[in-house]
Chains A and B, each alone.
Chain A
Amino acid sequence: MAEPSTETRGSAKPASAPPPPHTDHGHDDHGHGHEAHDPIHAANPHLAHHFDTPQQQFDAGKLGIWLFLLTEVLFFSGLFCAYTVYRAMHPEVFVYAHYFLDTKLGAVNTCVLLISSLTAAWAVRNAQLAEKKALMLNIVITIACAFTFMSVKYVEYAHKYHDGLLPGKAFQPKEQIWELKSFRDKHPEAAEYAEKLAKLDEKKATPPAAAPAEAGKTAPAEAGKAEPAEAERIERPTEEELEPLLAAGLVGPRSLDPSAHISRPRMAHVFFGIYFFMTGLHGFHVLIGIGIWVWMLVKASKGHFGPAYFGPVDFTALYWHLVDLIWIYLFPLLYLIH
């Protein structure tokens, strides 16, 4: 039955024709079924029967969506908590991993979402003023921004897949971080030093036929100590060379294989687990947001919204702003670590 209402966005249903008066069908009709004697419901086809005034309906809806946003904050809290705990306990993992992330793409996504927040808030204004065309345009732009966000996200994910940077058991990075442009740009000396050490390791892994006995020897954990044969070629590293490697857990007690010259942090895969989970869950919320905006677009095209009834747009926009808010925090936490 056609029951107009402005509930929280999870279950808002499109309102169609106002309920016909005088018929006794289920929940619509009751003491207020006679629109003739209830001017408020008669004048407001989108006013649900259990509310007395549009203001009450709107306020109830607003309170409802804020409560829902509260639950969303707490929902993401678990992930932020895991992030906080792991970053506090294993900072090297985060330093290591952030070199793999493309800050530019992250910044682009941030800007895209901010713009979509603008159009969402603007759409609310349009709905309040019954500016149908502008409303539809703003919704379309919001959706377009959302799609852009998801596309950039897809590109990022594709890169990660290509580079073997998958969460959990599937984590098999194809590149070493000192081979990455982001690392080389920031720490050129450390990158060079790391290359030297890596070559050393390669040499050891394929020993010359003359010295098979040395094949099994692994270098001590301390970077800087070199095989006697190489002593004259690898000097003690300077602060600049060593520090970024230590910070990224490539050497030292936190690395995966402390006996190797160059390794990676023992818990590197945890970062990518958290990364994919947080951005994935966020992306999932963006997708849901797109769905709801499309629905709002349909309702807007039918001319439902006006000064007495713009709740659904307002509430959808609030949800959308929360999605933006979460990204505002995700961006520096995941992409801007240094």
Chain B
Amino acid sequence: MSDDKPEADKPEATETEAASTPPPSTEADHTVRTTETVATPEERSKLQLSDEPKPDEPKKNNSHDKHAPAAAHDHGDGHDHGLAHTMPIALLFGVLGALLALTVATVAVTAIDLGAQGNLIVAMVIATVKALLVCTFFMHLLWDKKFNLVLFLTSVLFLILFLGMTTADRAENQQAIDQYRALQLGVK
């Protein structure tokens, strides 16, 4: 670290790379702002950094970096391979089967009349089950980082907020509109 010191006063003079100002402090209690050059192994161990530049990233993929087919092992069981989980084919078809069955069901159930509200609820429930199947399996959410799920649920939440508030507001007024209309018709 000491070889950085003489340059501390003249950062401009040593711009072989993009230089900077505060050299790394050796005292652990001060702000450690190293230059943007690579930290020395000493610094890294002090900061308890691994070699991996991003500590929150998984460190497992070096063996899969080669850009070549790696079909050597069996992927039917859907284990994690490389960057993400692989879907087993059987599961894919299973989900499709369920989806098609639900589609048939939702059409078939129109034969039964449960009242306007009831029909809508049943249709939406079936649609939601289908949607959940697509999201969880086809869209991989079951094996994905949970944050993506959070994002998707947030969008649904905001959708409900928007629809709910607006419909509630308009519903409050619909009575008045209907009364006015009835009045109009009465007068005519």
Contacts and interface: CB of A to CB of B under 8 A. Distances in A.
Interface of A: 39-40, 43-46, 52-56, 58-59, 62-63, 66-67, 69-70, 73-74, 77, 80-81, 84-85, 88-89, 91, 103, 107, 110-111, 114-115, 117-118, 120-122, 124-125, 128-131, 221, 253, 258-259, 306-311, 314, 317-318, 321-322, 324-325, 328-329, 331-333, 336-338
A331 B87 CA distance: 27
B134 A117 contact: yes
Contacts of A306: 67-70
B182 interface: yes
Given A332-B127, A336-B107, A44 B152 contact: no
Q: Give 3 nearest A-B pairs by CB, closest first.
A: A130-B69, A332-B123, A307-B82
Given A115-B96, A118-B96, A325 B167 contact: no
B124 A308 contact: no
Contacts of B124: 332
A322 B156 CA distance: 13
Contacts of A62: 84, 144-145, 148
Contacts of B82: 128, 307-308
Secondary structure of the B side of the interface?
helix
B57 A55 contact: yes
B131 interface: yes
B148 A66 contact: yes
Interface stretch (B7-15, B26-34, B41-49, B157-165): B157-165
B106 A125 contact: no
Nearest to A103: B107
Secondary structure of the A side of the interface?
helix
Contact of A128 (B54, B81, B103): B81
A70 B152 contact: yes
Contacts of A115: 96
A63 B82 CA distance: 18
Given A321-B138, A336-B106, A81 B166 contact: yes
B142 interface: no
14 contacts: A53-B53, A54-B61, A54-B83, A63-B151, A73-B156, A73-B159, A84-B166, A103-B107, A120-B138, A131-B69, A311-B83, A321-B134, A328-B127, A336-B110
Contacts of A131: 69, 71
Contacts of A121: 87, 92, 137-138
Interface residues of B, number: 72
Contacts of A258: 185
A48 to B, nearest CB: 14
Contacts of B140: 314, 318
From A77, A118, A328, residue with most partner B Cβ within 10 Å: A328
Contacts of B92: 118, 121-122, 125
Given A66-B148, A325-B131, 17 more contacts: A53-B61, A59-B57, A66-B151, A73-B156, A74-B155, A118-B96, A122-B92, A124-B87, A129-B75, A130-B70, A308-B83, A321-B138, A321-B139, A322-B139, A324-B138, A328-B130, A336-B123
Interface of B: 52-54, 57-58, 60-62, 64-71, 75, 81-84, 86-87, 89, 92-93, 95-96, 99-100, 103, 106-107, 110, 113, 116, 119, 123-124, 126-127, 130-131, 134-135, 137-140, 144-145, 147-148, 151-152, 154-156, 158-159, 162-163, 166-167, 170-171, 174, 178, 181-182, 185, 188
A122 B66 CA distance: 23
Contact of B61 (A74, A111, A308, A332): A308
Contacts of A63: 145, 147-148, 151
Contacts of B139: 318, 321-322
B25 to A, nearest CB: 23
A309 B67 contact: yes
Contacts of B86: 125, 128-129
Contact of A70 (B75, B151, B178): B151
Contacts of A67: 151
Contacts of A310: 83
Nearest to B98: A114
